[in-house]
Amino acid sequence: MARKRAEHGGVLTMEYPEAPGQAASIASQALARMEQMGVAPHPRNYTIWYSYFLDHYPDLRRRMDTLLSEGTSFTETVGEELYNRYFTAQEETDGIASTGLKLEVTLEQMRTLFSSAHAGTEAYNRTLESFSGEVQGAEPQHAERLIATVLDETQRMLATNRALGEELARSSDEVRKLREDLDRVRLEALTDGLTGIANRRVFDATIRDLTHRAARDDLNGLSLLMVDIDHFKRFNDTFGHQMGDQVLRLVARLLQQGVDAESIATRYGGEEFAVLMPNIRVRDAVATAETIRRQVASKRVTNRRTNQDLGCITLSIGVSEYVIGEAIGQFIQRADEALYMAKGEGRNRVVSQMELELRRAGAVP
């Protein structure tokens, strides 16, 4: 199951609940590989390699396997890029800042063009005013020279305006493209690259917003589904990362299709998903979760390249409902504990906070 990640000021801090023996084994593997490859054992690099050997971060694992197969040297630059991509929000922030700066520069260039056009128009107006004053009562020969001067000035003005018009058209196209790029970068910053659904950042922002709304009585209930793909690591190890990616995309699609328009399905991390369900009470959320669980279990996974039937996948789902005034962490923890209970009772099932409460009260074994 995916490790939990909390975002603080753009940095995702990891929690590693492995048992001491398991953690020591993973640490030993990570440090040995780092020494073998000449990677400095400072905290940033250690985080990357520990997470690699933990193998609960398929996106990171896939990228590092590619780099290893290509014989890439794990320099400080490579380490920094991996850390920024998988453990901080820096990559998306830099993309938005870069595009925004380009847009700002282009708009400044357009303002300069408008200023030039304005200055040219004022100069032309002064020429016309001067001509108007001098032409009255002027001798024919002098009047001809004045008219020639005005015609030359008019031609220059037309040429200048034509050039400015072309430049403004190019700048307008550039602004349009940059705005599209900015929208795309912002969307990418909120979207999980593999599954195409909302990412953990969206979850963190949305749960804050929805709990605030619930506290103001703007919602008629707020429920949370924590969803985990059963035996995903074994499936990945057996059939490969490409098939694992196919499973992640399938689950993401079925989650989106299985909830109403107000609900938000997100990839929480690894093979774990979270669904926020505003205006839905816990009993209705359980019913929705059960429908999703059955639908996923009814699908058979097929290797599209070989047509090999890889069997079925199943989900374990924990469900909680927000209690006004509680910390967001408590809300998530109840759903997570219900998910662990579903795992402990054999997987492929939905467990709600009501069952957790009964278990704690001793009403169920």
- Summarize pLDDT for 261-319 with one digit per residue, the tens: 999 999 998 899 999 999 999 999 999 999 999 999 999 888 888 888 898 999 999 99
Mean pLDDT over all residues of the chain?
79
Strand blocks (E) in the chain? 5-8, 11-14, 222-229, 264-269, 272-278, 300-303, 308-312, 315-321, 350-352
Residue whose token pair is 């979850």: 203
Dihedral of alpha carbons 248, 249, 253, 259, sign: positive
Could you tell me the pLDDT band of residue 5, with boundaries at 50, 70 and 90?
very low
Terminal Cα-to-Cα distance of the chain (whole angstroms): 25
- The pLDDT value recorded for residue 9 is 41
- The pLDDT value recorded for residue 12 is 44
Q: Which of 92, 271, 272, 337 is catalytic?
A: 271
CATH 3.30.70.270 holds for 200-360: yes
- The pLDDT value recorded for residue 3 is 44
- The pLDDT value recorded for residue 281 is 96
- The pLDDT value recorded for residue 48 is 87
Q: Does residue 87 or residue 260 have the better pLDDT?
A: 260
- Write out pLDDT tens, residues 145-169: 666 676 676 777 777 767 776 776 6
Between 162-171, 192-201, 209-218, 312-321, the lowest mean confidence (pLDDT) is in: 162-171
- Angle (CA) 347 350 351, round 5°: 100
Measured from the Cβ of residue 154, the count of other Cβ atoms closer than 10 Å reads 13
Verify whether residue 166 is a known catalytic residue.
Answer: no
CB 57 within 8 A of CB 270: yes
Domain ranges in the chain are 5-88, 91-189, 200-360
Measured from the Cβ of residue 97, the count of other Cβ atoms closer than 10 Å reads 11
